[in-house]
Amino acid sequence: MTERRPPLPLVGAWLGLLALLALTVTLAYVPLGAGNAIVALSIGTIKAGLVAAIFMELRHRSGLTLVFAGAGLFWLGILLWLGLMDFMTRT
Amino acid sequence: MSETNYLTTDYTLRSWFLTTDHKRIAILYFASLIFFFFIGGAAATVIRIELATPQGDLVSSDTYNRLFTMHGIIMVWFFLIPSIPNTLGNFVVPLMIGARDLAFPRLNLMSWYIFMLGGCTTLFAIFAGGIDTGWTFYTPFSTLYSNSYVILAAAGVFIAGFSSILTGLNFIVSIHRLRAPGLTWYRLPLFLWSLYATSVILVLATPVLAITLLLIATERFFGVGIFDPRIGGDPLLFQHLFWFYSHPAVYIMILPGMGVINELISCFSRKEVFGYKFVAWASLAIAAVGFLVWGHHMFVSGQSLVASLVFSFMSFIVAVPSAIKVFNWTATLHKGLLRFDAPMLYALGFIGLFTIGGLTGLFLACLAYDVHATDTYFVVAHFHYIMVGGMVTAYFGGLHYWWPKITGRLYSEHWARAAAVLIFFGFNLTFFPQFILGAEGMPRRYHIYPPEFQVWNVLSSGGAAILALAYLMPLFYLGYSAFFGPRAPANPWDAPGLEWQTSSPPPEHNFATQPVVTRKPYQYNRNFQAEPQNA
Ligand code: HEM
Ligand SMILES: [Cu+2]
């Protein structure tokens, strides 16, 4: 914890996130039909990946830490899966 | 006593409010929770007095709504969720694993400050005028119609959530990293398995609650269409998100209690817990499967039939690990050398009350029966049997069991047994009639009801008076014991766990020398004497 990290990757990731945000906003005004949602969600996923890898430093971790981070993702999957189960089968 | 212990190392206020000692933080939490328990209890008292008569003669409908909301919010988030983990858990986890403290002592202190900040925020909302949404904050009422302090109260709950997450994190890391040499996973006391499972839920579910509350604020303030279908939202999304957290959260409110019961049943039967591995894995199974059943709160909400069927089926599955535990506790009693000290009375009470609460959960998990019972007093009785009959009873049991370790004093066994019996009696008189009321169709959350229901309501209110008195008793005899009770020996119950192998109260850093574990937990020899885990 005491070692000092070069801030370069952090700044880079931050700029990357801002760029992706700008992209999301711009693309929202381009009419793509159902494509809009797909594009927005894909960009969101990339952003989440950046945050996990760089801000949360998961790219330097291994083993148990990754298992726990993966568990978070898996549980999010449960929320989407069972939540959509209701949404898709409503009459 | 010549040696200093964690209580006598320093007497200044500063040494308490800036402490990083898990034992002192446990006591900070303990004092705060008593405070919140009284506030929540005061609301319940007014509710029960109002319900003694069919007319609405004591409070207005509006006030009544605010009372049961305040009761629910305080009791769930500011009492029951932190109850066992942050007090008894905080105190005994490092002792049980043979460590000097939790993995992140400062984070532990921070979690208490965050908790208090959240608690004060919600209290402020309550005293500024209150909240009338119920503890469940259902939309569209909470986003569109309610004129009460929804956002402020939700903000308090949101803040307190971070304290839950920090505590969960601290326990997980401590149990992974700080176990004494020789303390393998299958040598951990079952209390630790259940706290581990609880912590996993705390860490995985609480963020979803935080997001959900933020979304309410977003819709309420900015009119962004999230839950309101007129502006593009989904009317059931709130309930999905809320119960994705809150069903697992009900397991946060019972797993630690189950953990305590293992310690009590084994010690007062002088026997190993029957089927250790099954009980250990049952905790994790409950934590995992508990995430797959939330839709059983939405059977009449307009959720799809397919979803209701799946959630109903999963709810039956989740009862299996709970049943395993109940059967294993009873099997542990079999042929044990039973002693009916106060902690054991609480433990036995827990088994019966939890079983009733769990089995009535299965009634509610039946699609057809739930249509009749939902939003009636049957549901209220169901969850009080688990949360109060189960968890609060376990909390009192654990408190009496570890009291000599925490304070270094003994309490009056007579008074303690009397309180335990009175709590059991008062509890049943309060809540059993509510099953009948619910089955007869009395809806929850109304303060005016048809006169036919009065008999059961009067019984329930009478029981509540007994229960309230019984809950006050420990305040006196435990309070007396803390200052004037006889000194407790290191191991008054002759139990084998590591926490009993150091002095009472423990020294600041818990153990004079690092304990080395050589045995499974809960071992007793042929003469029913404990065989310490670190012999
Ligand atoms: C054996 C496992 C359990 C099953 C199958 C079960 C089932 C259910 C069902 C189906 C409901 C919804 C009833 C309705 O609103 O119509 C319900 C409500 C509730 N249960 Fe359980 N339950 C179980 C265990 C627990 C536990 C362990 C707790 C608490 C520690 C708990 C606390 C609650 C609460 C607080 C509610 C009411 C929520 C509200 O609407 O305010 N349940 N339960
Ligand atoms: Cu539930």
Residue of chain B whose alpha carbon sits nearest to that of A74: B204
Q: State whether A71 and A50 are in the same domain.
A: no
pTM exceeds cut of 0.90: yes
Residue of chain B whose alpha carbon sits nearest to that of A69: B204
* pLDDT confidence of residue A56: 87
* pLDDT confidence of residue B324: 97
| pLDDT (tens digit per residue) in B59-101 | 999 999 999 999 999 999 999 999 999 999 999 999 999 999 9
User: Pseudo-torsion of CA B409, B414, B415, B418, nearest 10°?
Assistant: 140
Domain that holds residue A77: 61-91
| Residue B503: CB atoms within 10 Å | 18
* Binary contact (B291, A64; C-beta < 8 A): no
* Chain B residues touching A89 at Cβ < 8 A: 304-307
Q: State whether A53 and A71 are in the same domain.
A: no
**Hey, whose CA ends up nearest to atom 9 of ligand 1?**
B364
Q: State whether A52 and A26 are in the same domain.
A: yes
Q: State whether A51 and A73 are in the same domain.
A: no
Cα separation, B358 vs B210, in Å, equals: 28
Which ranges constitute the DSSP H helices of B97-189? Answer: 105-128, 150-177
Does residue B312 contact residue B296 with C-beta atoms inside 8 Å?
A: yes
- CB of B308 closer than 6 angstroms to any ligand 1 atom: no
Q: State whether A50 and A67 are in the same domain.
A: no
Nearest to B523 by CA among B273, B349, B299, B297: B273
* Binary contact (B240, A83; C-beta < 8 A): yes
* pLDDT confidence of residue B282: 97
| pLDDT (tens digit per residue) in A25-63 | 999 888 888 888 899 999 999 999 999 998 888 888 888
Q: State whether A65 and A34 are in the same domain.
A: no
| pLDDT (tens digit per residue) in B135-158 | 999 988 888 888 889 999 999 999
* Binary contact (A72, B295; C-beta < 8 A): no
- CB of B370 closer than 6 angstroms to any ligand 1 atom: yes
Number of domains observed in the structure of chain A: 2
- In CATH terms, the superfamily for domain B22-501 is Cytochrome c oxidase-like, subunit I domain (1.20.210.10)
Does residue B298 contact residue B243 with C-beta atoms inside 8 Å?
A: yes
Ranges under pLDDT 50 in chain B: 1-2
Q: State whether A47 and A88 are in the same domain.
A: no
Residue of chain B whose alpha carbon sits nearest to that of A72: B204
* Binary contact (B310, A85; C-beta < 8 A): yes
The bound ligand whose nearest atom lies closest to the alpha carbon of B316 is: 1
- CB of B7 closer than 6 angstroms to any ligand 1 atom: no
Question: Percentage of chain A surpassing pLDDT 70?
Answer: 93
Q: State whether A53 and A16 are in the same domain.
A: yes
Nearest to B353 by CA among B430, B264, B454: B430
What residue spans define the domains of chain B? Answer: 22-501
Q: State whether A46 and A66 are in the same domain.
A: no
**Chain B interface, mutation test: which of A68, A75, A84, most B Cβ atoms within 10 Å?**
A75
Q: State whether A42 and A65 are in the same domain.
A: no
Q: State whether A41 and A66 are in the same domain.
A: no
Q: How far is CA B51 from the centre of its chain?
A: 26
Q: State whether A55 and A74 are in the same domain.
A: no
Does residue B55 contact residue B457 with C-beta atoms inside 8 Å?
A: no
* pLDDT confidence of residue A2: 56
